[in-house]
Structure 1
Amino acid sequence: MTQVVKRLPVLFLDDVVLLPGMVVPIELDEPAQAAVDAARAADLEEILVAPRLEGHYAAYGVVASLEKVGKFRNGGPAALLRTGERARIGSGVTGPGAALWVEVEAVEPDQPTDRTRELAADYRKLVIAVLQKREAWQIIDTVSAIDDPSTLADTAGWAPYLSNDRKRELLETPEVERRLELLVEWTRDYLAEAEVSDKIDEDVRESVEKRNREYLLREQLRAIRKELGEEDGEGSDDYRARIEAAELPDAVREAALREVDKLERSSDQSPEGGWIRTWLDTVLDLPWSERSQDNTDLTGARAVLDADHHGLDEVKERIVEYLGVRARREERGLSVVGGRGSGAVILLAGPPGVGKTSLGESVARALGRKFVRVALGGVRDEAEIRGHRRTYVGALPGRIVRAIKEAGTMNPVVLLDEVDKVGSDFRGDPAAALLEVLDPAQNHTFRDHYLELDLDLSDVLFIATANVLETIPPALLDRMELVTIDGYTEEEKVAIARDFLVPRQLERAAVTAEEVTVTDDALRELAANYTREAGVRVLERLLAKAFRKVALGELPAVVDEDALTDLVGRPRFTPESGERTAVPGVASGLAVTGMGGDVLYIEASSLPGDRSSNGGLTITGQLGEVMKESAQIALSYVRAHADELGIDPALLDRPIHLHVPAGAVPKDGPSAGVTMTTALVSLLTGRNVRAEVGMTGEVSLTGRVLPIGGVKQKLLAAQRAGLTEVFLPQRNEPDLDDVPAEVREAVTVHLVSDVREILTDALEAADSGIAAA
């Protein structure tokens, strides 16, 4: 079918998009007047109406007939347009007048198909749903009478919920099916949004009506009370009486009475009244004048600590010293309450399962004080420590104030558990807030944001626990007295299991000591070959597993060494140092992790090829930057002293691969330097490292062995792994005073200051030995 091409002047519209089938009055500005005049000058009753675009012509418009040209009531020129067919705009042409003339090609609508009829039916239902909300019943009848899908789609030109951009998209979409698909999608979205908006409006209206009704009822109640002679300010007299009866500090009493005055002046429907009542309840619930009497019996206190925990002499001595000083101050009439620096802050640091948390409970029992635990693991909001401002919705005091309230006294034992796992983000730094809490020189005037009152924390005994010290900010660590609990020896584990763990697990399994007997040999086997932990948590789980089976009558009631396999399975750990160091290039190092001391087997291997083309040194095992630098230093030392160490220089030209097994576990620290050096020398000289030897220490480029930390934990790990000789830096000799005698007897410690001393004694003998230092 041949398309008819017309030449028409163009009327561009800025704020409206016209679709076929619309009758619209248009105000004629100067360009629009020029288009109308040009059409009339050419004896045309039609013009092309198109949306105005930036920088280019529109692709489509509508041919509109000039139904009437006149003026609005305000005197402005106007034209009444009736839009007809959709038209595709072609090139510009010349014509009479000042208007822009273009060639236009009419776009015939598609013939209806089954798909377009289905879409038209869906769109008609949606449009009727929209019109029903507006109660436009006459328009509903008009829409219902339209059968042609294209005509129905073009009625969207009247839709107020469609933007001009969407209407222009409809104008530029000649395909009827595509237009209906867009309209169905857009109208469904509009109905969904309208439904949500209607629901919100309904909720708001109901809320307003409820508030108005409550206000009317309160005003009526107020009038009734006034007639009865009762005062306003509901409950204020009760709060005033409670404040007068409570033993509050003067500053607290004055602040509370000021809040009562505000409560009396506030209206009943004001939310401020609820905030004031909550604040007054919190203040009155705090034990401002309550203090428990400390137990000054030093012998009895030590007996309580000994009954609850085996060993831990340093911690127990610190608690007894604290009690002794307080008793001495009382005897001399010196203040022990509210004085600057009278508080004590102890940090118990050590691996999991060594009894840090339970020790806090024992300290409270020994002192005769209340015990409260505050879990800090994962806390990232500073308001958890200092409290929220009262202006916030749902404001609460901080955890410290809540702990004091829970204890019911002003001098409890507060355990700050997992202080090393406190984080920080955009909500503040809780660790920084703890500085004021834990500083004895400041915490006598601790100020919670919710209370806005000075709270004396100087008589609170704070005990913090941590697994590692590296994540604790130095300023916070400086406020605390560090007491390390590095772990237990095998004999200590046996004693703890016999005296504490076995009775507790027997009770939990509903079994008595007369019904089941556990031998010391069985406990020693569990501690030696079933666990490799610094604490006793896994040991307790194994005992619980054994007693559950005994309670069910599955096995005899005597738990000895032979019965362990049936009760808890086969041993999980066996000495492996001899197997791991059976080839050159493997050395046993000692390290400290968050779980306590551990043995690391560092492996070195020489690869074929030229190191200049393959990179020289490859390091694997998920090592940190410090440990990688230790590996580089170790290799540099070996290369610099190759002749002295009896190493063939040709071997150093080959690529070296250094690996620390357990690659899934991150590792870092300088203390593996001597172990890496020993592994490299073992590889390059072909001499095995003695199986019974372990070592730790930082190495320098000149071969100096520098001091490290965690000596006690590392020696405990060496004993658990079956090592009998350990090389330590000379400058770590004072740390041996903290090592239990049992460990010092089982493990021979060699103190060295130069790595060549380790290489001389740790490697097995060979025909060409290492030169003496």
Structure 2
Amino acid sequence: MSEQTYSLPVLFVPDLVVLPGMVVPIPLDDAAQATVDAARASESGKLLVAPRLDDRYPTHGVVSSIVQVGRIPGAGAGSAASGPNGYITAAVVKGEKRAHIGTGTTGHGTALWVEVTEIDEAEATAETKALGAEYKKLVLAMLQRREAWQVIDAVNKMSDPSDLADTSGYSSWLTDVQKRELLETDDVAARLQLLIDWTSEHIAETEVSDKIADDVRNGMEKQQKEFLLRQQLNAIRKELGEDEPDGADDYRGRVEAADLPDKVREAALREVGKLERSSDQSPESGWIRTWLDTVLDLPWNVTTTDSADIKAAREILDADHHGLDDVKDRIVEYLAVRARRAERGLQVVGGRGSGAVMVLAGPPGVGKTSLGESVARALGRKFVRVALGGVRDEAEIRGHRRTYVGALPGRIVRAIGEAGSMNPVVLLDEIDKVGSDFRGDPAAALLEVLDPAQNHTFRDHYLDLDLDLSDVVFLATANVIENIPSALLDRMELVTIDGYTEDDKVAIAGDYLLPRQRERAALTAEEITVTDDALREIAANYTREPGVRQFERLLAKLMRKVATNIENGSAAVPVTVGEPELKDLLGRPRFTPESEERTAVPGVATGLAVTGMGGDVLFIEANRTDAGEGKGGLQLTGQLGDVMKESAQIALSYVRAHASELGVEPKALDGTIHVHVPAGAVPKDGPSAGITMVTALVSMATGRKVRAEVGMTGEVTLNGRVLPIGGLKQKLLAAQRNGLTQVFISPRNEADLDDVPAEILEDVTVTPLADVAEIVKRALEPAADEVSAAA
């Protein structure tokens, strides 16, 4: 075996392995075109074709000659090398000799040049001839199965073992990895041995597949034959004037022909037997027919194949929704685990435990419902939505007993039938708004549906058959977690969506909302432009919401106004909407920072709270009225719940017990203390207003105003310790929206700051303090004597 070394330009080809003797077209991008030009300009006119590998640099390639350069039908307009009418530029190359790839070298043109060492094949030995003959038999057997007679003649004429082995480059049953291994195997005998092993395995697999297909086809032919005979029998009975069939024979044929699980088929045939024995006048006959129709319409053995491309799934989720990284990460994790289990053959029998149940909790307008459709697209599954808001009847979930008039299966079974597969993505919308009355508790019926350890044998009252729901991806949405029964919440993974920052809203508007509303108003991007400053002004002063629903309504109004102005000639195209134009199009801003105005008098402190609509600021007011001698009492207004009433009592007791430390005159707390939380029509409750009430009381008693830029959240004990609260991210979002720059929290909430976006922490300084006295000291403006001393 002799070797010859020289320099050639190298052409790296993805998704294709070229072996000696192959003639293939290769599409040309800019880099490939440069390589072809360099080869045609060289003395030899040859180039080296090598596979492009992701994990390493290739060691072998094929010295090839250029047969022709031209255009071939390809990817169409818009691709890198496309031309007019969907044609692409390509070079037809012919592989000649296998070669080692050496180090890089220099050469003319912009192509990559490498040193190439040709590998001359050794003369055929008795061993290689025998292996070649054996491989030729296997190849001919494969080709005869496919009836490729022209190729058979070409293979029969080949005698050289090396050439015969390299014809495997055209073999569709070999993977690119296997072909690369053949390219990198210098010894002919070793290549032939690999091909013999791989081809033998493929022939064995093909024979098994063909046998299974024949068995299935024979079974189907038998069922079709029986069905045809039954139809002929019915026609003969009709011609003879005998009793016409009552439909029972038709149902028996449908059940036998349907793809049903064994236990379901047995139950269905039992019902068919009852139908055959009953008369048409019997009411049970109608019930049985309806039940059979429902069972036959369900997709018992129909499933869709999940997408295994994790990267593509994440791209779909990112394209449909901005942010929401926790939800996207959970879906990608689910896909990754399923893919690994499938690769290792770890699919659990019956799919038990393979499903996922998540509840997306957050305020309205943050994209919870629309996220379900994106999840279904990312998984490659069918999507169906089940609205649970206002459902009060347990039968809506579990179905009615068949003995009831108008009985129907439950919403879960109907959702499976609507999806047409047994593994859809089912969105249980507004699960926190499920009610209960004398007809039962639907939330309790959902316990079995959403429990991964039980839902593989879910039994609907109407069907009275086990239904495997373990492979269904259940997504639930809720606004208020506290309204979900604890037993039901325990069966689901909680993923909170707290809302969007101002920057998030501007990005969402530019990427999603604005193009959608522009299209609905029949406007184009060339006709109207909305600046980022205008979008930011809308987000800051026209809406105060954690989501973007109201934001989109305002954009829709903006588009309608602009479209009207263009039509009546009062605006010239193109229209640019900036911050100054918003007042004419949308009116004056609806929201302005009011903390400075509200805290301009002593006795008013700014707290933070979480409602079903997201985070919001809470102004707590305190005042005192004389009630004669004695300490008087505590009066609370603002439709407060029991928890907030207790917080007010604790706050007053703490201030009275530590009056000297707080600089409060004891007489200032005599009489009746009135604590009021404005917006009295809105019920308020929750353990997070304690330190705000203490601050308001001290401000009232000392006559010192609370700093306008300060907000606070946390519960307080009788000893003045600040306790942690929930919903910190939503509260800080509300603080930023309302112009607060300083927020006091409990030190035990400091870990929750990891979930808060960086842009929020840049605008709002969050200070953890464990002592409420220290918070009061920092929140109140200095006393008059302190200001004079500082001056």
What's the TM-score, normalizing by structure 2? 0.68
- 1:767 positional shift: 5.0
Query: d(CA) in 2 for partners of 1:582 and 1:435?
Result: 52
2:285 aligned with 1:273? yes
Alpha-carbon contact 2:352-2:471 (below 8 Å) kept:
no
Aligned partner of 1:295 in structure 2 is 307
- 1:661 positional shift: 0.6
Query: d(CA) in 2 for partners of 1:513 and 1:262?
Result: 66
Alpha-carbon contact 1:233-1:266 (below 8 Å) kept:
no
Query: d(CA) in 1 for partners of 2:621 and 2:727?
Result: 23
What amino acid sits opposite 1:479 in the alignment?
R
Q: How is 1:510-659 mapped onto 2 (pairs within 5 angstroms)?
A: 510-553=522-565, 556=571, 557-610=575-628, 612=630, 615-659=632-676
Q: How is 1:274-423 mapped onto 2 (pairs within 5 angstroms)?
A: 274-335=286-347, 338-423=350-435
Moved more, 532-541 or 549-558: 549-558
Give a deviation string over 1:121-145, Cα, whole Å, max 9, x none.
Answer: xxxxxxxxxxxxxxxxxxxxxxxxx
Query: d(CA) in 2 for partners of 1:416 and 1:378?
Result: 13
Query: d(CA) in 2 for partners of 1:743 and 1:718?
Result: 9
Aligned partner of 1:758 in structure 2 is 775
SS across alignment from 2:428 = strand
SS across alignment from 1:667 = coil
- 1:227 positional shift: 9.4
Q: Which runs of 5+ in 1 are unaligned?
A: 1-221
Query: CA, structure 1 residues 474+249, in 2 after alignment: closer, same or farther (shift >3 Å)?
Result: same
Give a deviation string over 1:87-138, Cα, whole Å, max 9, x none.
Answer: xxxxxxxxxxxxxxxxxxxxxxxxxxxxxxxxxxxxxxxxxxxxxxxxxxxx
Give a deviation string over 1:352-382, Cα, whole Å, max 9, x none.
Answer: 0000000011000111111000000000000
- 1:228 positional shift: 2.8
Q: How is 1:79-158 mapped onto 2 (pairs within 5 angstroms)?
A: none
- 1:611 positional shift: 6.7
Give a deviation string over 1:521-565, Cα, whole Å, max 9, x none.
Answer: 110000000011000000000000110111222564222111111
What amino acid sits opposite 1:640 in the alignment?
A
Aligned partner of 2:62 in structure 1 is none
Alpha-carbon contact 1:516-1:559 (below 8 Å) kept:
yes
2:681 aligned with 1:669? no
- 1:230 positional shift: 4.2
Alpha-carbon contact 1:386-1:399 (below 8 Å) kept:
yes
2:724 aligned with 1:707? yes
Give a deviation string over 1:173-199, Cα, whole Å, max 9, x none.
Answer: xxxxxxxxxxxxxxxxxxxxxxxxxxx
Aligned partner of 2:256 in structure 1 is 244
Alpha-carbon contact 2:626-2:670 (below 8 Å) kept:
no
Runs of 4+ deviating beyond 6 Å: 224-227
Query: d(CA) in 2 for partners of 1:748 and 1:320?
Result: 34
Give a deviation string over 1:630-651, Cα, whole Å, max 9, x none.
Answer: 0010000000011111111111
Query: d(CA) in 1 for partners of 2:349 and 2:559?
Result: 48
Query: d(CA) in 1 for partners of 2:668 and 2:639?
Result: 26
2:733 aligned with 1:716? yes
What amino acid sits opposite 1:424 in the alignment?
S
Query: CA, structure 1 residues 611+743, in 2 after alignment: closer, same or farther (shift >3 Å)?
Result: farther
Aligned partner of 1:228 in structure 2 is 240
What amino acid sits opposite 2:603 in the alignment?
G
Query: d(CA) in 2 for partners of 1:610 and 1:719?
Result: 44
- 1:769 positional shift: 7.1
Give a deviation string over 1:725-751, Cα, whole Å, max 9, x none.
Answer: 100111011111110111011110000
Query: d(CA) in 2 for partners of 1:449 and 1:612?
Result: 66
Query: d(CA) in 2 for partners of 1:721 and 1:337?
Result: 55
Alpha-carbon contact 1:330-1:336 (below 8 Å) kept:
no
Query: d(CA) in 2 for partners of 1:441 and 1:284?
Result: 27
Give a deviation string over 1:249-270, Cα, whole Å, max 9, x none.
Answer: 0000000001111111110111
- The percentage of counterpart residues that share the same residue type is 78
Alpha-carbon contact 1:287-1:408 (below 8 Å) kept:
yes
- Residue 484 of structure 1, aligned match among 465, 480, 496: 496
Query: d(CA) in 1 for partners of 2:400 and 2:335?
Result: 35
Query: CA, structure 1 residues 576+227, in 2 after alignment: closer, same or farther (shift >3 Å)?
Result: closer
Query: CA, structure 1 residues 657+316, in 2 after alignment: closer, same or farther (shift >3 Å)?
Result: same
Query: d(CA) in 2 for partners of 1:411 and 1:588?
Result: 49
- 1:566 positional shift: 1.3
Asked which structure has the greater CA Rg, the reply is 1
- 1:338 positional shift: 2.6
Alpha-carbon contact 1:624-1:668 (below 8 Å) kept:
yes
What's the TM-score, normalizing by structure 1? 0.69
Aligned partner of 2:466 in structure 1 is 454
Query: d(CA) in 1 for partners of 2:718 and 2:397?
Result: 47
SS across alignment from 1:723 = coil
Alpha-carbon contact 1:611-1:655 (below 8 Å) kept:
no
Query: d(CA) in 1 for partners of 2:391 and 2:250?
Result: 38
- 1:272 positional shift: 1.0
Query: CA, structure 1 residues 654+261, in 2 after alignment: closer, same or farther (shift >3 Å)?
Result: same
What amino acid sits opposite 2:432 in the alignment?
D
Query: d(CA) in 2 for partners of 1:611 and 1:470?
Result: 44
2:505 aligned with 1:493? yes
Query: CA, structure 1 residues 559+611, in 2 after alignment: closer, same or farther (shift >3 Å)?
Result: farther
Query: d(CA) in 2 for partners of 1:304 and 1:270?
Result: 54
Query: d(CA) in 2 for partners of 1:654 and 1:589?
Result: 25
Query: d(CA) in 2 for partners of 1:386 and 1:663?
Result: 41
Aligned partner of 1:682 in structure 2 is 699
Moved more, 381-390 or 564-573: 564-573
What amino acid sits opposite 2:596 in the alignment?
G
- 1:768 positional shift: 6.3
Alpha-carbon contact 2:361-2:477 (below 8 Å) kept:
yes
Query: d(CA) in 1 for partners of 2:761 and 2:238?
Result: 86
- 1:609 positional shift: 3.0
2:281 aligned with 1:253? no
Structure 1 vs Structure 2 CA RMSD: 1.7
Alpha-carbon contact 2:650-2:716 (below 8 Å) kept:
yes
Query: CA, structure 1 residues 230+610, in 2 after alignment: closer, same or farther (shift >3 Å)?
Result: farther
SS across alignment from 2:483 = coil
Aligned partner of 1:205 in structure 2 is none
Give a deviation string over 1:194-250, Cα, whole Å, max 9, x none.
Answer: xxxxxxxxxxxxxxxxxxxxxxxxxxxx9x979936456511111111111111000
Query: d(CA) in 2 for partners of 1:339 and 1:544?
Result: 46
- 1:276 positional shift: 0.7
Query: d(CA) in 2 for partners of 1:335 and 1:632?
Result: 58
SS across alignment from 2:481 = coil
Q: How is 1:51-70 mapped onto 2 (pairs within 5 angstroms)?
A: none
- 1:399 positional shift: 0.1
What amino acid sits opposite 2:576 in the alignment?
V
Aligned partner of 1:5 in structure 2 is none
Q: Which runs of 5+ in 2 are unaligned?
A: 1-233
SS across alignment from 1:345 = strand
Query: CA, structure 1 residues 761+244, in 2 after alignment: closer, same or farther (shift >3 Å)?
Result: same
